[in-house]
Amino acid sequence: MSVISLINMKGGVGKTTLAINIGDCLASRHEKKVLLIDVDPQFNCSQSLMSPDDYIKYLKEEGDTIINVFERSKRPIANTVEGIQDKKNKELVDVTPIEVRNNLFLLPGNLELYRMEMSPGEGREYKLSKYITATTEKHEFDIVIIDTPPTPSIWMTSALLASNYYIIPVKPDPMSFTGIDLLESIIEDKKQNFDLKIECLGLVLTMVEANTRVYNGVIETISNSNKWSSLKFTKEIPKRTEIAREQLNQKFILDNNDEKSKIALTGLVSEILAKI
């Protein structure tokens, strides 16, 4: 079982889009049982996998979200015999993801994470890791993919502690290495404070418009770096407006008609499988 986080401290580089599409490809083409976990308070990953109506209905019906991992319910319930008593905390292992497609499961995100970050929570960094161990044992997931927020936070630390691998999506632009340098320094810092076992699987270029000046500049920067040139995935995800548009309709790269992006994604997933 592998746990892979999609991480970059820069926003809008394609973390969420890649998390969903890698998960979908692993489930639909490789028959892997995949769990996606949305630890970003923006919960874009969940919005791409559930329609707004379905998400609201899910919350109303008390479906589990990432909140149940970090803070299990303590709401009081009425009991006719003993009066008001604390609702029993749900065991981590009973926090249940929803199957959004065949073999593709989601533990949805929740906007409440913004509020929760402000409140104390002893040992909260390790809860995600504990949850993944418990849920993969119960549901036999082959691969867990974590979509992370772009800002350093307890959610990011939890993802780092819970993962054996991370993938860095990079959008070729003049500032593309700012987020990577920051990420590497944060990982170094966490290594000093925690027992991190995470390893970089590689760097994926996303939203690629090949042969532009900016793209060529980024390729040159990568090839001049011993570290990143060996870690760059061969396949690159091209920029396609269809990918962005259809994502809001819960459709992914393999559902679209663009052969080039499908070939790029399936090739990328094969490269990932060869490395884990």
Ligand X SMILES: Nc1ncnc2c1ncn2[C@@H]1O[C@H](COP(=O)(O)OP(=O)(O)OP(=O)(O)O)[C@@H](O)[C@H]1O
Asked whether position 206 contacts ligand X by CB under 6 A, the answer is: yes
Asked whether position 8 contacts Mg ion by CB under 5 A, the answer is: no
Could you give the C-alpha distances from 260 to 94, 158, 237, 275, in angstroms and in order?
41, 35, 9, 23
Span from 10-18, 27-35, 71-79, 123-131 in contact with Mg ion (CB under 5 A): 10-18
Taking the complex as a whole, the smallest distance from the CB of residue 244 to Mg ion amounts, in Å, to: 12
Map residues 27-46 to x or -, x wherever contact with ligand X holds by CB under 6 A. -------------x-x-x--
**Number of separate helices (H) and strands (E) present in the chain:** 12, 9
How far apart (Å, rounded) are the C-alpha atoms in residues 230 and 93? 39
Asked whether position 16 contacts Mg ion by CB under 5 A, the answer is: yes
At position 113, the amino acid (one-letter code) is L
Pairing mode of beta strands 104-107, 98-101: antiparallel
Map residues 215-254 to x or -, x wherever contact with ligand X holds by CB under 6 A. ----------------------x-xx--xx--x-------
What's the alpha-carbon Rg for the chain, to the nearest Å?
A: 19
Q: 16 or 110: whose CB is closer to ligand X? A: 16
Which residue has the CB atom at the shortest distance from Mg ion? 16
122 contact partners, CB below 8 Å, separation of at least 6: none
* Both tokens assigned to 220: 């040159």
Asked whether position 167 contacts ligand X by CB under 6 A, the answer is: no
Map residues 31-50 to x or -, x wherever contact with Mg ion holds by CB under 5 A. -------------x------
Q: 67 or 207: whose CB is closer to ligand X? A: 207
225 contact partners, CB below 8 Å, separation of at least 6: none
How far apart (Å, rounded) are the C-alpha atoms in residues 17 and 237? 10
Residues near ligand X (CB under 6 A): 11-17, 40, 42, 44, 150, 206-207, 237, 239-240, 243-244, 247
